[in-house]
Structure 1
Amino acid sequence: MLNSAYRGLIAFVSGCLTVLSFAPFSQGWIALLSLAALFALWRGTTPKQAFGIGWAWGMGCMGLGVFWLHNSIAQFGGVSLPLAILLTLLFAAGLALFPALAGWLARRFFRGEVRQLLLVYPALWVLLEWLRSWLFTGFPWLTLGYSQIDTPLAGYAPLLGVYGVSLMLALAAAALNLWRSPWLLLAPLIWLAGWGLQQIHWTTPDGAPFTATLVQASIPQEKKWLPSQLRPTLEFYVETSKAHPDSRLVIWPETAVPAFADRVEKSFLQPLDTYFRDQSQDLLLGVPVRDAKGQAYNPLISLGASGRGRY
């Protein structure tokens, strides 16, 4: 029997490896084994021990998965790099409380090995993932369902959504822990059913095909919001878009226009709308907006042939 320290270390390493399940690595099978390992480590523990093991797993996954945020915090938060790293790790520690809570609840209120593995662990796992997606404004990144986009489990997505995919993954991980039981067969059956669902065409084309163009300026973040960069940025997007008159739809990225919409409405957005309407083209672009109270938003707006809209 492993003591708590070893269980915590194994959980932490498993959490770290889970990051490899997501793009750009896209090794979705690692999430299955990592979650199976976490469920195995929870077995036979006290609620307190399960909490610590779940936190260690979450710290590995979230700590490594969101560590890059320290660059943004340091660069745009105006703090030193060591402080930015500390804040990032504290943020990850908070996110790690969700898998920790799943383990504590499972071991505190439920009994029965098969029932825990096949019902309680998967259900609590998905419940806490869902809770993390909206509580305190939410942080749905690194939801395990997203890691399965290149596996047969993606077949469940049209029917159950990302949390349904997470549930199927958790059920398969739980079944792997019952390798001495017929319930082990549930794991390959889940994956086989997902593959079968992938053979179904859930959508049909609506209208004739058309050409779309994606425009990306790739401006360094430290330069993007400089007043001196506004004109060159807008000129790049306009000239690049005009080079594709055969495209029915042109798409610019989030905050492609580095200024509030009201500031550039007459000088830029209105002429741009007129141009694309005359070309029978549509343009989708990101531009920050603010209301009468000064509240800022980060929407997508449409200009051109199909009329103006905001999303």
Structure 2
Amino acid sequence: MKSLATLRAVSAPALAFVAGFMHAWAIASPLGGQPVWWLQLMALTLLVILLDRCRSATAAAWLGSLFATCSIGGSVWWLYISLHVYGGLSSAMAGLSVLGLSGFLAVYYALAGAVFCRLRPRGPAFRSCLFAAVWLAADLLRATLLTGFPWGVGGYAHIDGPFSALAPWVGVYGIGAAAAFVSALLAAVLVRPAQICGAWQPLLVVVLVVVALGRSHEAQDLERAPAVSVTLLQANIAQEQKFESATGVRDALEWYATQLMAASTALVVAPETAIPLLPDQLPAGYLEKLRSHFATGQRAALIGIPMGRIVEGYTNSVVGLGPGADEYRYDKHHLVPFGEFVPPLFRWFTRMIKIPLGDFESGAVGQSSFQWSGNRFAPNICYEDLFGEELAARFRDKAYAPTVLVNVSNIAWFGNTVAIDQHLQISRMRAREFERPMLRATNTGATAVIDRFGRVTDLLPRHTRGALVAQVQGSKLITAYAWWLSRLGLWPFWVLVAAVLTVAGRASRE
């Protein structure tokens, strides 16, 4: 008996370790970059089984933390490249930084494991509700506290799976909660086969709800915006050269200017910091030449460029050029900690890394869209598309809601890694949630056109130079998720979590 207990004590952390990496790989498989929805369910099911065997909340917190550290670290390991290769940190310091970030974010899931162990009821249905609630709470805390960093939450694994039908109703966090609920039901059946009678009914309800919501949404009349031709540019400028005046800067200025003025489509989009200099640092007449080119005719451009001045403050921006007196401008709102702004008490860390332009000003939430060719194009910059609750602010008034989403990015900081695939899945989920096509113009990939169902219709090979020419069909339909998220934010999820925890707490005291 003693040896069996020892074996269990050793095997539980090992299984949590494996399950955590399974969860990371489910978001974008390292074997091809595609999401694997069933692998995410397997990973969570294994975690629930391990938590169910814990005899104390402390043990459950430890396993939840280990699982989440491996899951998060396995998702964002490529931060090591930006910190070590481009940021100049030693390999040890860069590795510890990634591990520290993963461990910090894992605290939310440690708390979820402890609460689940402390309050877990006996019935499989209610137990599954509790696990879904605590897992949802952990995802929400990760998404909101300290500017938030929900990269790699489990819901993204389901963009191609059956749960994707829930996206226009409850978004990625609702999908994650539904997956957690099903995983807990599967765990209950595997651990206690006699409970199958109490588990198949709620499982059937989930299946029927998913099918019904999917069909009801597909039955809605699509309000189309005019189709428009687009060109998406991808210069593939190496990150180590991007801000070097004699190489990357010169190359960017020449190539993008040529491509912007040569494009024959209605809209041409250049990625984040395609023009890598502030306006007063550019060669004389450079911007004026572009403005003059698009001031007449039937073509327009969205161009990534930092705006402002070093002394007065600057923004990571997208400028819209086209016929008309007013020039459009979008300023990035959700800035990247350390890369684009310095969190309080961390200037010592930023002095250790060598990333240029690291102290941007932030734009407002819900900025206006670029109106062109019968559509409203709503830019977002780099990982801003990770925060659907902020993008949703633009959907509050249907008359001004975007018809097409546009993401401009430069994730060359992270090399030719799975980060490119993960970011593509994030954009696909936003397209599915809001029923809007998404245009992605990036420096190294993935430059793509995504339709309103989250399907990639056109894609440039990563780490190549080229221009992607395609057609995009805008949409005016407001999804249920866009409607309530734009008005209530994430609060309905918190109300749901509080309700489940309240009932579970009362039941545990009886």
Fold conserved between structures, TM > 0.5: yes
Task: Kindly indicate whether the alpha-carbon contact (under 8 Å) linking 1:262 and 1:289 is maintained by their aligned counterparts in 2.
Answer: no
**One-letter amino acid of the counterpart of residue 236, structure 1:** W
Question: Which runs of 5 or more residues in structure 1 are unaligned?
Answer: none
Task: Kindly indicate whether the alpha-carbon contact (under 8 Å) linking 1:287 and 1:299 is maintained by their aligned counterparts in 2.
Answer: yes
Structure 1 residues 117 and 274, CA gap change in structure 2 (3 angstroms):
farther
Give the aligned partner of residue 212 of structure 1.
Answer: 230
When normalised by structure 2's length, the TM-score is 0.57
TM-fit CA distance, 1:158: 0.7
TM-fit CA distance, 1:75: 2.4
Give the aligned partner of residue 199 of structure 2.
Answer: 183
Within 1, Cα distance between the matches of 2:310 and 2:243?
Answer: 22
Task: Kindly indicate whether the alpha-carbon contact (under 8 Å) linking 1:145 and 1:163 is maintained by their aligned counterparts in 2.
Answer: yes
Matched pairs, number: 309
TM-fit CA distance, 1:7: 1.3
Give the aligned partner of residue 52 of structure 1.
Answer: 62
**One-letter amino acid of the counterpart of residue 243, structure 1:** A
1:231 to 238, 250, 267: 250
Structure 1 residues 19 and 257, CA gap change in structure 2 (3 angstroms):
same
Structure 1 residues 54 and 261, CA gap change in structure 2 (3 angstroms):
farther
When normalised by structure 1's length, the TM-score is 0.90
Give the aligned partner of residue 35 of structure 1.
Answer: 44
Cα displacement string for residues 151-187 of structure 1 (whole angstroms, at most 9, x for unaligned residues): 1111111111111111111111122123223323433
Secondary structure in 1 matching 2:302: strand
Within 2, Cα distance between the matches of 1:290 and 1:281?
Answer: 26
TM-fit CA distance, 1:11: 1.1
Structure 1 residues 240 and 94, CA gap change in structure 2 (3 angstroms):
same
**Which sits farther off after the overlay, 142-151 or 180-189?**
180-189
Secondary structure in 2 matching 1:58: helix
1:302 to 320, 334, 352: 320
1:146 to 152, 156, 160: 156
TM-fit CA distance, 1:299: 2.6
TM-fit CA distance, 1:231: 2.7
**One-letter amino acid of the counterpart of residue 161, structure 2:** T
Percent pairwise identity = 29
Question: Which runs of 5 or more residues in structure 2 are unaligned?
Answer: 190-195, 331-510
Structure 1 residues 266 and 171, CA gap change in structure 2 (3 angstroms):
farther
**Aligned residue runs from structure 1 range 100-139, under 5 A:** 100-108=110-118, 110-114=119-123, 117-139=127-149
Give the aligned partner of residue 256 of structure 1.
Answer: 274
1:9 to 5, 11, 14: 14
Give the aligned partner of residue 214 of structure 2.
Answer: 198
Give the aligned partner of residue 71 of structure 1.
Answer: 81
Within 1, Cα distance between the matches of 2:269 and 2:323?
Answer: 14
Provide the alpha-carbon RMSD of the alignment: 2.3
Choose between structure 1 and 2: higher strand proportion. 2
Cα displacement string for residues 25-71 of structure 1 (whole angstroms, at most 9, x for unaligned residues): 31111111111111121114211011111011112111211111101
TM-fit CA distance, 1:196: 4.3
**One-letter amino acid of the counterpart of residue 67, structure 2:** W
Cα displacement string for residues 261-285 of structure 1 (whole angstroms, at most 9, x for unaligned residues): 4534973333312312323212112
**Aligned residue runs from structure 1 range 273-292, under 5 A:** 273-290=291-308
**Which sits farther off after the overlay, 30-39 or 192-201?**
192-201
Give the aligned partner of residue 87 of structure 1.
Answer: 97
Within 1, Cα distance between the matches of 2:137 and 2:230?
Answer: 38
Give the aligned partner of residue 243 of structure 1.
Answer: 262
Greater length-normalized contact order (CA 8 Å, ≥ 6 residues apart): 2
Choose between structure 1 and 2: higher helix proportion. 1
Task: Kindly indicate whether the alpha-carbon contact (under 8 Å) linking 1:155 and 1:194 is maintained by their aligned counterparts in 2.
Answer: yes
